[in-house]
Amino acid sequence: MDSALINIYDLEFEELKNEILKLGEPAFRAKQVWKWIYQGTTRFDDMTDLPKAFRERLKGVFYIGGAGIVNKFVSQKDGTRKYLLALYDGKVVECVLMKYHYGNSVCISTQVGCRMGCRFCASSQPGFDRNLSTGEMIAQVMAIRNDTEEKISHIVLMGIGEPFDNYDNVVRFLRRMNSQNTLNISYRKMTVSTCGLVPGIIKFSEEGFPVNLSVSLHAPNDEIRMKIMPIAKRYSIDNILSACNIYTQKTGRRVTFEYTLIKDVNDRNEHAEELARKLSGLLCHINLIPVNSVEGTGYTKSERVESFRRIIEKYGIPVTVRRELGSDIAASCGQLRKRSVERDRMVD
């Protein structure tokens, strides 16, 4: 890929218009191009209502997407599809399509690698490489849409990376996907998941988007949290909960706390009690996730999920246990970028 070319998805509509004016074409051409790219067209040659010479000039300035599918894994259990996508510089990211009764949800990566270092998560293991641009996040959604030819109704930022560590590109991405002239996905059908970057949560509450916020808490107190999540040394659970309170007040949305149950680390009854006491009074929901195995972490699944759940329920806090999707293709939480994926069965 010629690195001087611009990923067309990186541009706002006004920016595209200016580029097209610079090419000596009238502004209405921008509308035509915009419509094509968000319909999923990936080749300028397919934009049949544009003059041929103009299509050639577009090719000299832009490329469309910048995230080509290099591998695809389809779960035989539940139809979950995981994609490995190559970016312009050869880096690879992953995204996942999950099918639910309420629609199709795409799980998008926001960074190549991650700097948060959560001990149980595979995404952190190879370290951090770089942020994804807004266009590279859009390209993931469009690649899945084009591959499945199905409507995408929900977007979750729960792939590789920490969304609030790439704040501006993420916000631009959400805004673009919400736009009527692109995919027109409601903010209420988008979820941003964070390991608890407090300034990010507060700033995000001021954007005025009714986006679902998911916070990866995973511990009932700072002592345990520090053992499994290095970010806990920077922000305490109290800090995080205050920020979440602001978020629920500003947006009216309930916050989901993700809690991965790890055997002998955070799964005792007293941990459930402590967690429930801490969260009572907050507009929230707890999602329990039996930890997925990741080579080299030494953590194993807790068998105490049911008793943990019952204790939280006793406190009147809504609690669910996450259904595992795509476990046969290493598409479950924390398994993205897991090296053993190369051994899985490849489809197509």
Instruction: Identify which of residues 37 and 118 has a Cβ nearer to ligand SAH in the complex.
Output: 118
Helix 269-279, helix 237-251: angle, nearest 10: 50
Does residue 162 have a known ligand-binding role? yes
Q: Which residue has tokens 């926001």?
A: 110
Does residue 216 have a known ligand-binding role? yes
Which one of residues 7, 205, 251, 292 is an interface residue with ligand SAH (CB under 6 A)?
A: 292
Establish if 194 lies at the interface with ligand SAH (CB under 6 A).
Answer: yes
Give the residue ranges of DSSP H helices in the chain.
Answer: 13-22, 28-39, 52-61, 134-148, 167-178, 198-205, 222-228, 237-251, 269-279, 305-314
Establish if 216 lies at the interface with ligand SAH (CB under 6 A).
Answer: yes
Catalytic, 295? Answer: no
Helix (H) or strand (E) holding 81: strand 81-86
C-beta nearest to ligand SAH: residue = 334
Q: What are phi and psi of 335, to 5 degrees?
A: -100, -5
Marked catalytic residue, from 19, 25, 94, 258: 94
Which one of residues 177, 195, 224, 341 is an interface residue with ligand SAH (CB under 6 A)?
A: 195
Marked catalytic residue, from 95, 107, 244, 333: 333
Which one of residues 162, 200, 311, 329 is an interface residue with ligand SAH (CB under 6 A)?
A: 162
Token pair of 326, please? 């795509």
Does residue 161 have a known ligand-binding role? yes
Contacts with ligand SAH, 249-278, as mask; x by CB under 6 A: ---------x-x------------------
Instruction: Report CA-CA distances (Å) from 242 to 150, 195, 274.
Output: 39, 15, 17
Establish if 129 lies at the interface with ligand SAH (CB under 6 A).
Answer: no
For residue 72, the one-letter residue type is: K
Catalytic, 195? Answer: no
DSSP 263-317: TTTS-SHHHHHHHHHHHTTSSEEEEEEEPPP-TTS---B-S-HHHHHHHHHHTT-
Contacts with ligand SAH, 86-125, as mask; x by CB under 6 A: ------------------------------x-x-xx----
Which one of residues 333, 337, 338, 341 is an interface residue with ligand SAH (CB under 6 A)?
A: 333
Instruction: Report CA-CA distances (Å) from 347 to 18, 74, 328, 342.
Output: 42, 7, 13, 12
Residue 202 CA to residue 266 CA, distance in Å, equals 27
Which one of residues 183, 289, 311, 312 is an interface residue with ligand SAH (CB under 6 A)?
A: 289
Instruction: Identify which of residues 47 and 333 has a Cβ nearer to ligand SAH in the complex.
Output: 333
Establish if 167 lies at the interface with ligand SAH (CB under 6 A).
Answer: no
Helix (H, G, I), strand (E, B) or coil at 216: strand
Binding-site entries for [4Fe-4S] cluster: 114, 118, 121
The binding site for ligand SAH (CB under 6 A) comprises 116, 118, 120-121, 158, 162, 193-195, 216, 258, 260, 289, 291-292, 294, 333-334
Residues designated as active site: 94, 333
